[in-house]
Chain A
Amino acid sequence: MTLAAAGPGFLSPTGVEIAFVLVGLATLGAALLTVTTRQLVHAALWLVAALGGIAVEYLLLTAEFIAWVQVLIYVGSVVVLLLFGLMLTKAPIGPSPDADSGNRWAAVTVAGASAAALVWIVADAFRTTWIDFGGAVQGSTEVSGRSLFRYWVLPFEALSVLLLAALVGAIVLSRRTGAKGAAEAVAPGTAGEERR
């Protein structure tokens, strides 16, 4: 087994490692900019960069299907949703000096401390673990689809129900109460049917 097999040292990186680290640094930088920038729309755009970087990392980890799903779902829809949310809440376009709240230094402390603790624990635990990319392909669409529809059908279907519920919930939450009240005033029976 290759589980416990010690790989090559850190001082002789492979090409994949170099690429991973570089992309990872870019991703981390984009993420940091996302949480620190004072321009709200820029934050969304930096989030696109960070999520895209993570997609590249997925690719480097040979999980190609996940990578494309990442690009599709996150970059394609989630960020668009967030941008819509920013617009609907009338977020200022330019830099807003009050983007950070008052407990920023507490947040820095907590985040820094957790980062230090987790990095220390993770590095201590996995410093000799080596991922072997040889062998069968792991993350192709075919492999993923097969395992998904062979072993994970039931959770998959349950998840579809969850998505439906979230969809209905989002619609109910974001409907204007004034319009609903007017609809009820016009046709209370129909409105009741709809709600049910």
Chain B
Amino acid sequence: MTLTTTAVLVPLLPFLGAVAGFLTGRRSPGFVRPLAVLPTLAAAVLTVAVAVGQGAGPATDVATRLTPTGSLPIDLALHIDGFAALIAVLVGTVATCVQIYSTAYLRDDPRYPSYAALVSLFTSAMLLVVYTGDLMVLLVGWEVMGICSYFLVGHYWETEAARAASLKAFLVTKLGDVPFLFGIFALAADTGTFRITGILGHIARDGLHHPTLIALLLLAGVAGKSAQFPLHTWLPDAMAGPTPVSALIHAATMVAAGVYVVARLLPVFAASAAALVVLAVMAAVTMVGSALAALAQDDIKRVLAYSTVGQLGYMTGALAVGDRGAAVFHLLSHGAFKALLFLGAGVVIHAAGTNSLAAMSRTGGLARRVPDAFWTLTVALLALAAIPPFAGFFSKEAVLGAAEHAATGHAAGIPGAAGWTVLLSGLLTALLTAAYATRLWLLAFRGTGPEAPDHGPQPLAMNAVLWVLFVPTVGFGLTAPLLPAWFDGRSLAPGATTSVLGTGVALVGGLVTYAAWRHTSTRAARAPLGAVAAVPDVSPAVAEEVAIDVHTPAYGDIAGAPDPADPGRLLLGPLHRHAAAGFHLDAVYTALFVRPTRAAATLVRFLDHAVVDTYVRGAGAAPRWLGAAVRRAQTGNVQTYLGALLAGALVLAIAAVLVATGTGA
């Protein structure tokens, strides 16, 4: 099997699995699990084969043109280089883990067949995006991911939160996709091709006519898909979906797509200094804001969601300073430990019977109930906080090193301001990341109070997956010396200054949080709080659905909880209230978009009812009145009819005579 055939099979297998799952899922439930897991597993194996076959060599480009499509040809093109091969391995691995995990997590779910098929389709679309060499084909995968995320986030559609979140995810990402589409068209119009290699070659030769405009248009789509400020608000709400879906979206597929596209098209962005600065500012605002928000969230999954937003901020920051190697490095390591974090959080939610950190902090012995999740989560949180020697440390140092490189003016064509912005915000975020990671760990596993209920051992499929993902979380950072050969060749080894600084602030953040927790945890016993949905022996998905559904009634808010024992409350001070609400960005959107839309709808409704309907009713009323008037002539009196008939005949006769004589008199 050649490399090309293998690479074609990679997106095709999950797609066929999805089709087969949709077709047979309802009739033959026995095939659902193999159909869900095996194609994805095979695709994951094939991605490894592709990566091995591709190696660190020059990029593989294959293209075929099905049909001529006018002035701008659309090719079915494959473009496999080090980035694509490694990201595909990540996608395949995480998707396989998610599928295996889901077989246990949603074991009693009546909608599991369609769920598994959608996950397969989602994976297939992401692999298509990764491997394709043509922007139109990329757009197809991009949009398929959008619709899959809509369905998967709304999997628990019985709950109000899930319905709202799925709609929000769809609308917000589409809001970004429209400018993205325009950006692609503008790019193709400028360069005359949709092929990425052609575009990049054109840029290298002739440059672009409108680089800033195109870059900003593309950036809107990337911000929507990759959940960057100001289009990130769908991601925390998307936590209303099942935990494996969150893992898939956050670690491997959807949010990674935006970063990957920017990495692929980095020369387009690098052609415009303004776009890079915008990207840097966007990244800075995203990472600092999301880290602050993460510190205030009560839902464990929302904490992780905001942390995803922040880590994506690191990646876009790396792209803003022109180092896509660092960005993709962070994407890979983040994908590994974030998938682990989410899947572990799913286990914790099941064991605790709640998704609220406030409730967990009042439950003792959670760590003993789920030892596998406890150990893997601990390491994953350390990786998230960039503590050496775990994966997160190396990738984050690569980003900070690249930022420092740009800030000190060593990177050609990159504005120093972008470097400084990314560097400073990155260090601040490192502090905050360590703080919220510590807070999460302390609240989840160091709670005091009644023992957690015993649901028995967690399913093997779930625990095994955790340990599988544990391996890259621990060890992936050690591959840093090998990776530059796959990427642009720039060194990804941590620099001394940024390593000391980054690790230092992370330790400070962790220690300060610990001190705050010591101070506040004594209040926990005095303020009873929490609604634990302890329903033993149900599937984890049901427990999670109940937990999501009761969070707002129990705590008054989907995001925060009035918990005085929360160290985040002490650390953030008056900022806590705003951070919990995501800095009121949703309120701003409500004021900016929702209210005007509703007002416009009201206006349209008024116009429809008062104006259009008036014409319609008038069109009906006029003939009715005319009919009523004419009906008065319908007396039923034959003599009247005859009189009118004769009068008419008379008039006609006289007229005929006058015409015949031609005189008129």
A binds B: yes
A117 at the interface (CB under 8 A from B): yes
B639 x A114 contact (CB < 8 A): no
What distance in Å separates the Cβ of A37 from its nearest Cβ neighbour in chain B? 18
Known contacts A103-B637, A106-B640: A114-B646 contact under CB 8 Å: yes
**From B637, B646, B653, B654, contact of A110 by CB (8 A):** B646
Q: Quick check: is B643 within 8 A (CB to CB) of the other chain?
A: yes
B 172-204 binary contact with A (CB < 8 Å = 1; else 0): 000000000000000000000000000000000
Q: 0/1 per residue, B641-665, Cβ < 8 Å to A?
A: 0010011001001100100000000
Give chain A residues whose Cβ lies under 8 Å from the Cβ of B643. 103, 106-107, 110
**Inside 8 A of A121's CB, which chain B residues have their CB?**
657
Closest 4 CB pairs of A and B: A106-B643, A110-B647, A110-B643, A110-B646
The B interface is mostly helix, strand or loop, or mixed, namely helix
CA distance A113 to B639 in the complex (A): 17
Write out the residue numbers on chain B whose beta carbons fall within 8 Å of the beta carbon of A110.
643, 646-647, 650
How distant is the Cα of A146 from the Cα of B164 in the complex, in angstroms? 105
Q: List 24 A-B contacts (CB under 8 A).
A: A101-B637, A101-B639, A103-B637, A103-B639, A103-B640, A103-B643, A106-B640, A106-B643, A106-B647, A107-B639, A107-B643, A109-B647, A110-B643, A110-B646, A110-B647, A110-B650, A113-B647, A113-B650, A114-B650, A117-B650, A117-B653, A117-B654, A117-B657, A121-B657
Nearest Cβ on chain A to B499's Cβ, whole angstroms: 112
Interface string of A111-151 (1 = CB under 8 A from B): 00110010001000000000000000000000000000000
Cα A102 to Cα B639 in complex, Å, equals 10
Minimum distance in angstroms from A90 CB to a CB of chain B: 22
Question: Which residue of chain A has the shortest Cβ distance to B640 in the bound complex?
Answer: A103
- A residues with a Cβ closer than 8 A to B are 101-103, 106-107, 109-110, 113-114, 117, 121
Determine the chain B residues whose CB is within 8 A of the CB of A114 once the complex forms: 646, 650
Minimum distance in angstroms from A119 CB to a CB of chain B = 13
Task: Please name all residues of chain A whose beta carbon is closer than 8 Å to the beta carbon of B637 when the two chains form the complex.
Answer: 101-103
Contacts of A109 in B (CB 8 A): 647
A83 CB to closest chain B CB, in angstroms?
A: 23
Q: Within the assembled complex, what's the spacing in Å between the Cα atoms of A101 and B650?
A: 22
Interface residues of B in 605-657 (CB under 8 A from A): 637, 639-640, 643, 646-647, 650, 653-654, 657
- How far is it, in angstroms, between the C-alpha of A121 and the C-alpha of B655 when the chains are bound? 12
Contact with A along B313-329 (1 / 0, CB 8 A): 00000000000000000
Bound CA span A101–B637, Å: 10
Complex alpha-carbon distance, A106 and B643, angstroms: 7
Other A-B pairs, 11, CB within 8 Å; known A101-B639, A114-B646: A101-B637, A103-B640, A106-B640, A106-B647, A107-B643, A109-B647, A110-B646, A113-B650, A114-B650, A117-B654, A121-B657
By a CB distance below 8 angstroms, the chain A residues around B639 are: 101, 103, 107
Distance in angstroms between the alpha carbons of A113 and B653 in the assembled complex: 12
Q: How far is the CA of A153 from the CA of B246 in the complex (A)?
A: 107
* CB-defined contacts of B650 to chain A, threshold 8 Å: 110, 113-114, 117
Measured CB to CB, the nearest residue on chain B to A106 is B643
Smallest CB separation, A186 vs chain B (Å): 39
B645 closest partner in A (C-beta)? A110
A106 to B650, CA, bound (A): 14
Query: Within the complex, what minimum Cβ distance (angstroms) separates A118 from chain B?
Result: 9
What chain B residues lie within 8 Å of A107 (beta carbons)? 639, 643
Measured in the bound complex, the distance between the Cα atoms of B648 and A109 in whole Å is 12
Min CB distance, A114 to chain B, in Å?
A: 5
A101 to B647, CA, bound (A): 18
Docked CA distance A122–B265 (Å) = 100
**Once bound together, how far apart are the Cα atoms of A6 and B109, in whole Å?**
114
Minimum CB distance partner of B648 in chain A: A110
What separation, in Å, do the CA atoms of A103 and B653 have in the docked complex? 23
Q: Nearest Cβ distance between residue B665 and chain A, in whole angstroms?
A: 11
Kindly state the separation between the CA atoms of A103 and B647 in the bound complex, as whole angstroms.
Answer: 13
Nearest-neighbour CB distance to chain A for B634, whole angstroms, equals: 14
Complex: A110 Cα to B651 Cα, angstroms = 10
The complex places the Cα of A88 from the Cα of B221 at a distance, in Å, of: 98
User: Closest Cβ of chain A: how far from B650's Cβ, in Å?
Assistant: 5
A143 CB → nearest B CB, Å: 35
Q: How far is the CA of A106 from the CA of B637 in the complex (A)?
A: 13
CB A51 to nearest CB in B, in angstroms, measures: 23
Q: Which residues of B contact A117 (CB under 8 A)?
A: 650, 653-654, 657
Q: Give chain A residues whose Cβ lies under 8 Å from the Cβ of B657.
A: 117, 121
In the docked arrangement, what's the CA distance between A103 and B646, Å? 14
- Expressed in whole angstroms, the minimum distance between the Cβ of B176 and any Cβ of chain A is 78
How distant is A101 from chain B, measured CB to nearest CB, in Å? 6
A114 to B639 alpha-carbon distance, docked (Å) = 16
Complex Cα distance, B646 from A60, in Å, reads 32
Rounded to whole angstroms, the CA-CA distance of A74 and B650 in the bound complex is 29
Bound CA–CA A101/B639 (angstroms): 9
In the bound complex, CA of A113 to CA of B651 (Å): 9
Most B CB contacts (10 A, CB to CB) among A102, A107, A110, A121 go to: A110
Q: Shortest beta-carbon distance, B210 to chain A, in Å? A: 82
Shortest distance from the beta carbon of A153 to any chain B beta carbon, whole Å? 36
Compute how far the CA of A106 lies from the CA of B648 in the bound complex, rounded to whole angstroms: 13
Note all chain A residues with C-beta closer than 8 A to B646: 110, 114
A29 to B287, CA, bound (A): 115
Complex-state Cα separation, A109 to B650, whole angstroms:
11
Q: Identify which of residues 12-32 in chain B touch chain A, using a CB-to-CB cut-off of 8 Å.
A: none
Look across to chain B and name the residue whose beta carbon is closest to the beta carbon of A109: B647
User: Which residues in A have their C-beta under 8 angstroms from that of B640?
Assistant: 103, 106
Q: How far is the CB of A93 from chain B (nearest CB, A)?
A: 25
Residues of B within 8 A of A102 (CB): 637
A106 to B640, CA, bound (A): 8
State the Cβ distance, B651 to closest chain A Cβ, in Å. 9
CA distance A110 to B645 in the complex (A): 10
